[in-house]
Structure 1
Amino acid sequence: MMNYYPIKNTVALRGCYSPRLKMFMMCFLLISTSFGSAQVSGQTETVKGIVLDAGDKSPIIGAAILVKGTSIGTTTDIDGNFTIANVPSSAKVLQVSYIGMKEQEVDVAPVLNIILQPDLLQIDEVIVVAYGTSKKSSFTGAASLVKAEKLGERPVTNVTNALVGAVAGVQVSTANGQPGSEPSIYIRGIGSYGASNSPLIILNGMPYENTISSINPNDIESLTVLKDASSSALYGSRAANGVIMITTKTGTKEKVSVNVKFNQGVTAKQTNDYRKAGLNDYVSLYWENLRNRYVSDGKSAAEAGQLAAAGLFTDLPNPFNVPNNQVVDNNGQVNPNAKHLWADDVDWMNAIQQLGNRTDAAVSVSGASDKTDYYASAGFTNEEGYVIGSKFKRYTINGNVNSQVKNWLKIGFNTSANLSATDGNQNEAIGNNTNPFRFVRYIGPVHPIHLHNLETGEYLRDESGNLIYDFGTGYSINGVTIPIRNYVSGNNPAIELQNNYDGNKRNTINAKVYTEIKLPEGFKLSLNGSVGVNSYLASAADIVYPDKGISGSMTKTNTFTTTWTFNELLSYTKDIDKHHIDVLAGHESYDYEYNYLSSSMKDQKFDGNFEFGNYSNLNTTPDSYTNKYATEGFLSRFNYDYDSQYFLSGSFRRDGSSRFYTDSRWGNFWSVGGGWRIDKEEFMAGIDFIDILKLRASYGEVGNDNVGSYYPWRATYAVAQNAGEAGYIQNTLENRTLKWEVSHNSDAALEFSLLNGKYSGSVEYFNRLSGNLLFAVPLSPSTGVNSQDMNAGTMYNRGIEVELSAKLLQKKDFSWSASLNATYLKNRITALPVDPFISDVHKIEEGHSRYEYWLRQWKGVDPATGSSLYVPLEEVLGSSTSLVTVNGETYTTSATEALYDYSGTATPKVSGGLSTNFTYGHFNLGLIFYYQLGGKMYDIAYSYLMSPGVSTIASLYPSALHADMLNRWQKPGDITSVPRISTVESADLTATTSTRWLISSDMLELSSINLGYDFPKQWIHTLDISGLRLYGSADNVFQITKRQGTYPRRNIFSGYSDNGDVYLPSRVFTIGLNITF
């Protein structure tokens, strides 16, 4: 019930609508104002007034005022004033709303002075939870809500990228810069070793198995992240890693609303590459490298300098206009008269990049009558990446209809379809020379992109006058001989990316239908069914390049996935005086089928035709298989509250999964939770600065059956050949005792709001103990199988989450607000079924983090010799010839004698986000930052750039060098952290894994900027437009890291392999227009 009282035409609110209804009413006003005059007849009057904030009595700018029952309305100006002409004399009530304030209805009067109360913490907002909705005030679980307005106009193709820095406890690890790629999402750390760590995705109440990039962000109403067992246990066997609930938009207006949104922008590389030595420094460094090699072979320093100067370009193309033996002198100094002949043709990184275009357009139509609401939309996205040839194109349609057919019957459906295509997928394989990012990063500046006359530097051209790309395979053209490039000969990404044919097409359909039947005595029956279809075709071709000796090949892979979900839910609600009871019971079944088919052909006949008929021979044997998977669950939930002050909840689900054998197929998952509104206690009376103070706690167990294989309890076999005869070989051993991974979650939180909502937030402790962890346990070679999946081991993730919000400044025409979230996370393995083992640069052992580094202990450079210093193994002390004493400490210069030890973890200790918003008049500016602190990353790319990589004098490997090599040790007494440049001891000095390459993964990223201008209603009213907004946005704007070239958020937890030569994220700039009719 809404209560108000008049005091000389001043109205103060004593109740509130939900924030969602508030937003709906505001949108309704924007749509309806331009049509108001056409719907009013009879006698009219004019209503004037002012809208003020109850806190400091400051004017509220942009408050929406609507004549109830009509489409007549306006908004307040910068002084909080408003005027509504042509108000029908029959009108009795005005509806007043503003974001962050309680909704209000007031009686019509000629002059009004309206005071809006703050909507404290929006504690009564409705959030989407498992199998329903709940008021935030009564919810005992840990859930974070991200509304559509928070998503704003961010130029994100995948909506989960908008979670970066937005929700405490959620970390988004960027997949790569390929448009349309899927990020990895972690909720409260990593809960599994051998199984999936991905959260369950729920779309409109049903499990969703398609790619999230198939969903148009413009259609999303909200994202809800369920983080603890109390909020997610109803999803049982699939909720151990948390749940992300995506809710799409529905119709909410009393009349038709049309919204058109369009933005255009560009994409560019966000992260600058590593600093590299320029050509002259590069040549001097390699001269010194070669000289040191001759010295190690017994030559004098003077003789070694002469030999190095004379032989430096024996196996390298000489990029200068002077003879080979005149490029450098005997001291390694570059001839001042030497001119670079192809200086404009060595920027390999720039040669594979572009300024990509991005276009996003969406149109939606929505409306509602007394009994039916509807929403329909269509969207188009076309985004080019900053790497040549990479792009993503998507077409989407979405429809949502809900109808109250009878007082006791409600039906509805929503459906969405997506048609998308991705082109230019890039090879990011470590150590693979076809990886373009690896190639352009490490090729030395002496190698040009195109062929040149070695004498004059002129470009060489083919018979048609076109430039000729250098594949490094050696050429003889027009009497000029070009030697073979001994750096990755046979490749040239500058042209290969232009002709790259590696992409995929994806078609998805998701549909849901439901029926709600209201039964007597507070019971309700809900029947829901959904289907998801995903058709995927990937094609990858090797183009014919005579210079590479490739005859052309094509590989096609087709997959087809279908999912079916059905659930039946019976709910009961009852209010008895101050007691409120809410009970739910239900059943759910889920079926999944995945079909795979792949084949490859070779020996292309004609250019430009990539169908199998254009290839002569089979490249690989066709392969196909089908995976099937099903779950069935029985669920129940009980919620109770007394006087909206004391809250109790419990849930139970029993799930069966086809992944496990009959004896261990079923698992029980449950939770309990409680809440207490302390601020409503009598002893809190008189403490005026506390608006809300709520304590909640929960405990529960949820499962994870995503163990990789769909048939882990069965032995599996594959067809193979032996001496020309076909037969079966065993792939895996059966394990009938394999069962769920189980996550035991405990959670406690304090939520608060202070000073009429000026400050609000929460502090939360969580402890996530994961048991029955899946490990691939090594087996004896006599079994014929390398390993077997087994349940063994435990690991915990525990920490503290903090969320703070503040309305820092609220003036007449200016406001400033900010929000901060932070998560402290600690990860530990507490039980391990096998002996400790090494995984890349990590060691897996009880009592340590899953991603704790295990490395040689590097301690710097010996000032006397320039050798790397390591902490020695205890057993070599006193006997090794590699031991040295520096500043009273004993070290070894041999990497093989170095001590390994734990060296910190890749997992950041603290991560979170900071957002701030400024409003001035009709302008608004929003910024979102992401940060992480306390972790480390292993910079493998830097280690390569700090190593000359030369094995012999006759085989000079001319890879690029980092600019830090200029700080190398050169003579006794030099104090530096860079060892001498040498090929003899390259393993000891440079590329050997050690703590030398370990750096802080701390970073600060400006993830998003949005600047917008909302045109005043009085300007656009005559155009029959109810809302017009012009905005500019930027995503992945800049980052601050320990070293240029690194991007720690590429792989937050492991901090190793994926931080090498990869497609880093794009920086995106857009300008857009949002129009509502």
Structure 2
Amino acid sequence: MKISLLLTLSLYIGTMWLSQPIRALPGISLSSARVISGQVTDYELGTPLPGVSVLVKGTSIGTTTDASGRYNVTIADDKAVLVFSFVGYAKQEIAAGSRTELNISLSPDQQTLNEVVVVGYGTVKKSDLTGSVSSVKGAEISQGAVASMTQGLQGRAAGVQITRQGGQPGEGSTVRIRGTNSFSGGEPLYVIDGIPVYNENGASLNPSDIESLEILKDASATAIYGSRGANGVILVTTKRGKDGKLRVNLESYYGQQQAIKNLNMLNAPQYATLTNARLKALGRAAQFTDAQISAMGEGTNWQDQIFRSAPIQNYQLSLSGGNKTINYYISGNYYNEQGIIINSSLKRFAFRSNVSANPNDKISLGANLYFTDSRRNVVQSDQDGDGRSNFLTSAVHGSLLFSPVSPVYNADGSYVVQNPDFPAIDNPVAVAQSVTNNRFGRRLLGNAFFEYRFSSYLKARLSLGGDFNSGLSGQYLPRSTIFGNSSNGYASVGNDYSNNLVSTLQVEYQHTFGKHALTALAVQEAQSATTRSNTFTSKDFPNDALAYLGSANTILPTNTASALSESSILSYLGRINYNYNSKYLLTLSGRYDGSSRFGRNNRFAFFPSAALAWRISEEDFIKSIPTLSDLKLRASYGVTGNQEIGNYSAYSVLGPRVTSFNDQLVTGFVPQNIGNANLKWESTAQLDVGLDIGLFNNRIAITADYYQKKTRDVLVGLNVPQTSGFSVVTQNVGSVGNQGFEFSLQTRNLTGSFQWNSGFNISLNRSKVTDLGPITEFFPNDGSGWLAIPSFTIVRVGQPLGSFYGWVFDGIYQKTDDIAGSAQSTAKPGDIRYKDLNGDKKIDDSDRTIIGTSQPAFIYGFTNEFRFKNFDLTVFLQGSQGNKIVNAQFKNLNYFTAEGNASKNALNYWSDTNPSQTTPSLTNPNIRYASQYVEDGSYLRLKNIILGYTLPGTVAKRLKISTLRLYVTGQNALTFTKYSGFDPEVNRFRNSNVSSGIDAGSYPTPKTWTLGLNVGF
């Protein structure tokens, strides 16, 4: 409504202005004015340039060139200066003099090579980069309706694989840079305005505040972060004020979200008919009469009951400006996303203040502050934590399996609780509507810095920062759910608090002498983190009215706990950059890290790197090639580390245990784990060779990289004999290798009045386990067995992480003669046949094999931007090819087993009259978790399509605004995939490297359409 009123008002004012009579232009004496004309062409190609802005300097008088590149403009006198500007070309200012005709040629802008790129603890010109770094502008990140920066980053940088962990509002993403290095952990380090933090992939940071992201990929770029750089580093730079008057910007959008698709499930008559057919095959009486089936209608479509068209809205107001002394940027943001499943939502309030000052030539200081308050209501509880909690209280899971014969409500208005065909499944509407699952979070993130310049060569900087988080979670299962009914209401309440403090002192020396340029950096950094948490559970509530805020009759002591966890890192690091004659570049860096997480024998480690680059394009024998504007060869090698194992894996610690003594519950303390004083850093060595090419004054820019990584002393929890009193001990065992190729291409295809720019990137990574010490394989303790999928994943030497392990589906037995002499002698016609891989005439665990991997063959992104006059269109495609997905619900969806509803594929069940080779009979065939569960997860997605219109500058000025842009976006508008589930972009076990690519009723990703309005004053 608000957007419609603003649009109507702006169109009305614009119409009124256009209807005014033409008046004489200010600043021109008609007696001395004259017209100057000419043509603007491309310097290299000689072709006309339409759409070039021609402005009389110091006035608002101007025009644009026509389709032939020609222009006519009125000037006051011979002192007039004409300013020619065009996107992608260097600006020119030329005095008119006494000429009546002025023809000029514009050269493509070389500014891209002089752009400043943020690197660890500093900046560097893009032309002087020696490492592999991808830069993504904040404007690209915030395109469309995105709650987090990782959602906006997906598909935009080569070598960066991002998979959403579900479509629920506020859900995070799994981010992997150049493959998976380790069995545990794998998230990159995020550095936000100089503050290093982990797990910054949720919705706590406002994407609209981001100026740019730099993704550090090779060891030369990441080794400066030493113990935390093995998984890559993402540097986040937020917006700053710029010199000039106060700028006020209002950004807003409103839209609707919908499920990408619904699965085609059995309706009530089909379900009842199959139930009767199955009972008949088992020799039992029918459950439904023909009259009952005829009267059923379609029954209950549970997907329609829980899915909805959900609104999403975002509003941001920012103020920025400054002068030579002080600069400021202040913003406030409100984001409200209602999920596509009823009762799921996210609300976020955010405030940012970035201020910097230069009181004199010696001193610079400033402060960055960010505060956010977020509130989520979660309906898909299996998406939280490790994926193992309350799987049966899943709205998506229930919407697929709950009987379509059952109604939503009983006659008295209460929810139908029991599904008579599969009592373990909750009513999905009751789960979504009546289960309380709140998440409240507050975050304060900020730092302050003081910089002193001793001379033009030497400066020192001190930065103090902190990241403070507090959260409250409250879950209540009412009597309308199976578990809640059996417990007379069940509540779980928890709160947590964490702080992450960091101090950084750095000294930098920078000097250029003759053909030599030297920059030396020395840094001392200390970081400490503390986490506190309290949880308790209770049951036996008098009623469900107050949910978890009510008073319970029973507190469960076995599920009540308080915890305190602390860790710290002390680091010393240095870096030298040397540049000879802008041709030969050298970077050397080293970091010495000590972490409290490791054993006393291996607490400290050193992480070095070196990089060389040759700017071949600066050589005289290359400068003569007119089409080649940039050519740089890069090579680097270095070592980085990983410490993400938890705080106390190296130590023997005690933990509480409740037991019965003299018929009373008492609490004591017992050893929790086996300590390992020799536990040490996991380290990753990486070699990178890269080539940067610029053609036609960088209208075509190509970057290609080849890399090899090897991670040694991998940190993993291995099983130990139960007689030790424990099950797992953390050790440094084995190694993992990755190698791959990255390619990115940026082009300015058309530069006239119709402009067309393109960007393409593709990444190929091959990963495998190369060593496991004394063993050759193990089954991860990842909780997949809790999904009734025992050991579906395996870690095996020679295979990639994320490998699926199971039997091989080999069709359906058709006749008794086929069974005789086979490996399944007890089978019946209609049963599934599995391959006897070892030929021993029996099907057992020895016939299991690798049946797929979640790792893609390649990932890619393709952007096209079009502009014509004041219209712009952006089309962004993103995809993954060759990855597999375990559809954990395949059996329930494709086979009718009386454990709930099934898809319409179940109608193709085997019978004497329907010799199916894909779907078994209805009589409980022997079903194993095998290759038919593994599906092709490849997809191509229209990630974003954006159509915008910007009000002409002259009209905006009449309205006393600087800019106004109206746009419409479609996000996830089209998805092309063979995967039979809701969405191929799925990762049930979140950040698990060994159990990625498993789908078990996850919250699907929505498609979103929005209308947006941006106004600047």
TM-score normalized with structure 2 length: 0.88
Moved more, 89-98 or 180-189: 89-98
- Given candidates 436, 460, 483, the residue that maps to 1:501 is 436
- Given candidates 64, 82, 88, the residue that maps to 1:100 is 88
- Given candidates 915, 930, 946, the residue that maps to 1:1010 is 946
Counterpart residue type for residue 838 of structure 1: F
Structure 1 distance, partners of 2:832, 2:526, is 69
Structure 2 distance, partners of 1:487, 1:156, is 38
**Cα pair distance change 1:1039/1:76, threshold 3 Å:** same
- In the alignment, structure 1 residue 358 sits paired with structure 2 residue 312: yes
Residue deviations 1:950-989 (CA, integer Å, cap 9, x gap): xxxxxxx3522222233333338x66432431324x22xx
Counterpart residue type for residue 680 of structure 2: K
> Match for residue 391 of structure 1?
345
Counterpart residue type for residue 101 of structure 1: Y
Structure 1 distance, partners of 2:837, 2:806, is 20
SS in 2 for 1:748: strand
Shift of 1:447: 2.3
> Match for residue 609 of structure 2?
671
- In the alignment, structure 1 residue 564 sits paired with structure 2 residue 501: yes
**Cα pair distance change 1:885/1:100, threshold 3 Å:** closer
Shift of 1:427: 2.0
- In the alignment, structure 1 residue 753 sits paired with structure 2 residue 694: yes
Kept after mapping to 2: 8 A contact 1:882/1:892: no
- Given candidates 535, 541, 562, the residue that maps to 1:604 is 541
SS in 2 for 1:122: helix
- Given candidates 403, 417, 426, the residue that maps to 1:471 is 417
- In the alignment, structure 1 residue 293 sits paired with structure 2 residue 293: no
> Match for residue 534 of structure 1?
469
Moved more, 1033-1042 or 960-969: 960-969
> Match for residue 894 of structure 2?
946
**Cα pair distance change 1:760/1:42, threshold 3 Å:** closer
> Match for residue 419 of structure 1?
373
**Cα pair distance change 1:91/1:619, threshold 3 Å:** farther
Structure 2 distance, partners of 1:919, 1:78, is 16
Structure 2 distance, partners of 1:111, 1:684, is 37
Structure 2 distance, partners of 1:866, 1:239, is 61
> Match for residue 408 of structure 1?
362
> Match for residue 783 of structure 1?
724
Shift of 1:468: 4.3
Counterpart residue type for residue 137 of structure 1: S
Structure 2 distance, partners of 1:139, 1:827, is 27
**Cα pair distance change 1:433/1:540, threshold 3 Å:** same
**Cα pair distance change 1:172/1:631, threshold 3 Å:** same
SS in 1 for 2:244: coil
- In the alignment, structure 1 residue 818 sits paired with structure 2 residue 758: yes
Moved more, 681-690 or 561-570: 681-690
Runs of at least 5 residues in structure 1 that lack an aligned partner in the other structure: 1-36, 295-306, 319-323, 328-337, 452-459, 473-483, 950-956
| Total equivalences in the alignment | 960
> Match for residue 881 of structure 2?
933
Residue deviations 1:789-821 (CA, integer Å, cap 9, x gap): 0011100111101112233344x4323232221
Shift of 1:897: 7.9
Counterpart residue type for residue 591 of structure 1: S
> Match for residue 762 of structure 1?
703
Shift of 1:1038: 2.2
RMSD of aligned alpha carbons: 3.5
SS in 2 for 1:498: helix
Shift of 1:189: 0.8
> Match for residue 1062 of structure 1?
1002
**Cα pair distance change 1:683/1:946, threshold 3 Å:** same
> Match for residue 966 of structure 1?
907
> Match for residue 17 of structure 2?
none
> Match for residue 654 of structure 2?
717
Moved more, 147-156 or 780-789: 147-156
> Match for residue 15 of structure 2?
none
**Cα pair distance change 1:53/1:1033, threshold 3 Å:** farther
Shift of 1:376: 0.9
Structure 2 distance, partners of 1:867, 1:924, is 64
Shift of 1:485: 2.0
- Given candidates 205, 217, 229, the residue that maps to 2:194 is 205
**Cα pair distance change 1:1019/1:286, threshold 3 Å:** same
Structure 1 distance, partners of 2:829, 2:290, is 39
**Cα pair distance change 1:54/1:164, threshold 3 Å:** same
SS in 1 for 2:397: helix
Alignment of 1:506-517 (within 5 A): 506-517=441-452
Kept after mapping to 2: 8 A contact 1:856/1:870: no
Structure 2 distance, partners of 1:398, 1:886, is 60
Identical aligned residues as a percent: 26
> Match for residue 1043 of structure 1?
979
Residue deviations 1:275-295 (CA, integer Å, cap 9, x gap): 33444444443343333333x
Structure 2 distance, partners of 1:670, 1:890, is 48
**Cα pair distance change 1:739/1:1054, threshold 3 Å:** closer
Shift of 1:240: 0.7
> Match for residue 3 of structure 1?
none
**Cα pair distance change 1:326/1:340, threshold 3 Å:** closer
- In the alignment, structure 1 residue 618 sits paired with structure 2 residue 555: yes
- In the alignment, structure 1 residue 699 sits paired with structure 2 residue 642: no
Kept after mapping to 2: 8 A contact 1:389/1:500: no
Counterpart residue type for residue 447 of structure 2: K
SS in 1 for 2:890: helix
> Match for residue 920 of structure 1?
868
Kept after mapping to 2: 8 A contact 1:444/1:958: no
Kept after mapping to 1: 8 A contact 2:349/2:373: yes
> Match for residue 332 of structure 2?
378
Runs of at least 5 residues in structure 2 that lack an aligned partner in the other structure: 1-22, 781-790
Structure 1 distance, partners of 2:374, 2:769, is 41
SS in 2 for 1:213: coil
Kept after mapping to 2: 8 A contact 1:60/1:76: no
Shift of 1:490: 7.7
Counterpart residue type for residue 407 of structure 1: D
Shift of 1:941: 1.7
Alignment of 1:77-88 (within 5 A): none
Moved more, 893-902 or 791-800: 893-902
SS in 1 for 2:108: coil
> Match for residue 805 of structure 1?
746
- In the alignment, structure 1 residue 833 sits paired with structure 2 residue 773: yes
Structure 2 distance, partners of 1:884, 1:139, is 58
Counterpart residue type for residue 513 of structure 2: I
- Given candidates 563, 575, 586, the residue that maps to 1:637 is 575
Shift of 1:545: 3.9
SS in 1 for 2:404: coil
> Match for residue 588 of structure 1?
525
Kept after mapping to 1: 8 A contact 2:941/2:974: yes
**Cα pair distance change 1:1031/1:689, threshold 3 Å:** same
- Given candidates 382, 393, 400, the residue that maps to 1:441 is 400
SS in 1 for 2:381: coil
Structure 2 distance, partners of 1:563, 1:47, is 65
Structure 2 distance, partners of 1:495, 1:883, is 36
SS in 1 for 2:1004: coil
SS in 2 for 1:614: coil
> Match for residue 265 of structure 2?
276
Moved more, 733-742 or 748-757: 748-757
Residue deviations 1:619-652 (CA, integer Å, cap 9, x gap): 4453111111110111100111112111111101
Kept after mapping to 1: 8 A contact 2:794/2:994: no
SS in 2 for 1:405: coil
**Cα pair distance change 1:1023/1:288, threshold 3 Å:** same
Structure 2 distance, partners of 1:886, 1:495, is 40
> Match for residue 480 of structure 1?
none
> Match for residue 732 of structure 1?
673
Kept after mapping to 2: 8 A contact 1:553/1:619: no
Counterpart residue type for residue 474 of structure 2: S
Shift of 1:726: 3.6
Structure 1 distance, partners of 2:495, 2:50, is 55
**Cα pair distance change 1:122/1:782, threshold 3 Å:** same
SS in 1 for 2:850: strand
Shift of 1:660: 1.5
> Match for residue 646 of structure 1?
584
